[in-house]
């Protein structure tokens, strides 16, 4: 059980907790969205998790410069441990668990492009489903019993009835959603044989950025072909691409374009904070994380035009394989059980915040770290490259971070 170190109101007005001597293993693909802020000399639970959210991507094609930002804010030894490892390498993963005293795992790692999954299905099943098995086996072997798992609304497929509840049948229509559902099923089946505390969060469409402008989305060029609408809008507004290509105008929606539930990253973080606080042994909690309101692609584009002040050129094309017409959540369960509700629902404002970072970082994180000769690199002081381990005996450790990169 986690012991609360202190409780206070965050700058978002929400209750936020610090956990004393709690080592959390964050398994993710790096492309961080927000950096933590110091509160009473310690990092806040909410802001540390917020560091982890951006367009999920792996280290091999992401931005290690974002890690440098985090390192600069957590310079003290033992506060943060960064490990670059292959999540598909069971030996390496078990070594990390064996050498560090871990209390919980937040498993964010996955490739996350529905369209790409239809062209590279085996890659998705490997990275999402197979690698989740590696994590669970390591947790079992080393008696780590708390898991917060990042899932997706793509597991529902294309339901006939809206809004989507947690009881809506899961009938995914693309390999991304199918792989995530398989991972969910494995986690649930495994939890029945243990006293694990499991929380599964099914994200809807994440948008937004760090309100302080310190971190934002900077996808590598090869990701743009499978990119999300916010990134494509910003690329068009910046002139990186000549215009925006909207795929699909014949869906059975009000204006013919897809309808999605866009959740701001700040709200998503708050959901994870509450999920960790409410995780209980021998219980599995499953929650939709969305606003409960659907917005069409056309609505999104108009909001982006207003947020950027650019009259983005739009070209309408045929549908993209693997997409579905309408998806939006019923977040009643998470509100009732975790006391969570989306607060940042102004689409234009969320896009304005993200656009501000884009304008101030025209070259992304290239000045901090990135790729060179096809390999990842990160410029860090030599002292930070020494091997470190996390132990529960270290009274100075409030939050610790270990990062794994999944295999490609």
Question: The domain that contains 127 carries what CATH number?
Answer: 3.40.50.720
pLDDT in tens, 305-325: 999 999 999 999 988 776 788
pLDDT in tens, 185-196: 999 999 999 999
Over residues 156-176, mean pLDDT: 95
Q: Identify the weakest region by mean pLDDT among 135-144, 216-225, 360-369, 371-380.
A: 371-380
The whole-number pLDDT of residue 181 equals 98
What's the whole-model pTM score? Answer: 0.81
The whole-number pLDDT of residue 14 equals 25
The whole-number pLDDT of residue 51 equals 45
* Phi, psi angle pair for 259, to nearest 5°: -115, 130
pLDDT in tens, 85-132: 778 889 988 988 888 777 888 888 767 888 888 899 999 999 899 999
Q: Scan for tokens 């969320």, then name that residue.
A: 350
- Does residue 239 sit within a domain? no
Residue 22 has pLDDT above 80, yes or no: no
- 120 contact partners, CB below 8 Å, separation of at least 6: 175
CA 284 to chain centre: 20
The whole-number pLDDT of residue 115 equals 81
User: Is residue 164 within 8 Å of residue 156, measured between CB atoms?
Assistant: yes
Residue 406 has pLDDT above 50, yes or no: no
- Does residue 393 sit within a domain? yes
3-state secondary structure of 116: helix
- Does residue 313 sit within a domain? no
Q: Scan for tokens 């998503």, then name that residue.
A: 268
**Of 393, 404, 384, 403, the residue nearest 77 (C-alpha):** 384
Q: Is beta strand 197-203 parallel, antiparallel or unpaired with respect to 283-289? A: parallel
- Residue % of the chain over a pLDDT of 70: 66
User: Is residue 155 within 8 Å of residue 206, measured between CB atoms?
Assistant: no
**What is the rounded CA–CA span in Å between residue 303 and residue 128?**
33
**What is the rounded CA–CA span in Å between residue 163 and residue 243?**
32
Q: Which residues are catalytic?
A: 176
pLDDT-derived band at 210 (thresholds 50, 70, 90) equals confident
pLDDT-derived band at 290 (thresholds 50, 70, 90) equals very high
pLDDT-derived band at 273 (thresholds 50, 70, 90) equals confident
User: What sign results for the dihedral spanned by CA atoms 280, 133, 97, 55?
Assistant: negative
- Does residue 314 sit within a domain? no
- Does residue 279 sit within a domain? yes
pLDDT-derived band at 139 (thresholds 50, 70, 90) equals very high
Q: Report which listed range, 39-43, 204-208, 270-274, 289-293, is most confident.
A: 289-293
Over residues 50-73, mean pLDDT: 53
* Number of domains composing the chain: 1
Kindly report the average pLDDT of the chain as a whole number: 76
Over residues 297-307, mean pLDDT: 97
Which position has the higher pLDDT, 209 or 194?
194
Residue count (the chain): 408
pLDDT-derived band at 388 (thresholds 50, 70, 90) equals low
The whole-number pLDDT of residue 70 equals 67
The whole-number pLDDT of residue 166 equals 99
- Does residue 209 sit within a domain? yes
The whole-number pLDDT of residue 20 equals 35
The whole-number pLDDT of residue 224 equals 66
Residue 298 has pLDDT above 80, yes or no: yes
Which position has the higher pLDDT, 11 or 60?
60
User: Is residue 266 within 8 Å of residue 54, measured between CB atoms?
Assistant: no
- Does residue 108 sit within a domain? yes
Residue 133 domain boundaries: 4-225+262-291+328-344+377-404
């Amino acid at each position: 059980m986690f012991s609360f170190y202190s409780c206070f109101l965050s700058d978002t007005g929400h209750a936020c907790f610090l956990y004393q001597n709690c080592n959390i293993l964050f398994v993710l693909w790096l492309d961080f969205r927000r950096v933590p802020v110091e509160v009473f000399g310690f990092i806040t639970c909410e802001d540390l998790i917020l560091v982890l959210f951006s367009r999920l991507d792996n280290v091999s094609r992401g931005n290690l410069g974002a890690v440098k930002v985090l390192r600069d804010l957590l310079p003290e030894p033992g506060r943060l441990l960064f490990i670059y490892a292959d999540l598909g390498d069971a030996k390496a993963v078990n070594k990390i668990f064996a050498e560090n005293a871990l209390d919980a795992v937040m498993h964010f790692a996955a490739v996350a492009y529905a369209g790409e999954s239809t062209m590279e299905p085996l890659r998705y099943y490997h990275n999402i489903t197979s690698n989740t098995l590696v994590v669970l086996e390591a947790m079992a072997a080393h008696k780590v019993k708390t898991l917060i798992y990042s899932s997706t609304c793509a597991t529902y497929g294309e339901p006939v009835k809206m809004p989507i509840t947690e009881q809506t049948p899961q009938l995914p229509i693309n390999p991304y959603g199918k792989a995530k559902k398989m991972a969910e099923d494995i986690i649930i089946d495994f939890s029945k044989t243990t006293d694990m505390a499991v929380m599964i969060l099914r994200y809807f469409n994440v948008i937004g950025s760090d309100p302080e402008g310190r971190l934002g989305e900077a996808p590598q060029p090869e990701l743009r072909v499978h990119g999300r609408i916010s990134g494509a809008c910003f690329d068009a507004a910046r002139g990186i691409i000549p215009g925006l290509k909207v795929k699909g105008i014949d869906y059975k929606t009000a204006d013919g374009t897809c309808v999605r539930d866009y959740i701001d990253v700040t709200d998503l973080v708050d959901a994870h904070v509450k999920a960790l606080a409410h995780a209980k042994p021998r219980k599995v909690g499953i929650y939709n994380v969305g606003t409960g309101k659907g917005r069409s692609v056309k609505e999104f584009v108009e909001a982006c035009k207003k947020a950027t002040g650019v009259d983005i050129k739009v070209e309408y094309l045929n549908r993209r394989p693997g997409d579905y017409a309408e998806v939006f959540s019923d977040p009643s369960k998470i509100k009732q059980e975790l006391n969570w509700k989306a607060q940042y629902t102004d689409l234009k404002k969320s896009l304005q915040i993200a656009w501000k970072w884009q304008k101030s970082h025209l070259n992304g994180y290239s000045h901090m770290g990135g790729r060179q000769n096809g390999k990842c690199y990160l410029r860090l002081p030599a002292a930070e490259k020494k091997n470190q381990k996390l132990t529960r005996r270290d009274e100075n450790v409030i939050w610790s971070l270990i990062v794994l990169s999944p295999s490609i």
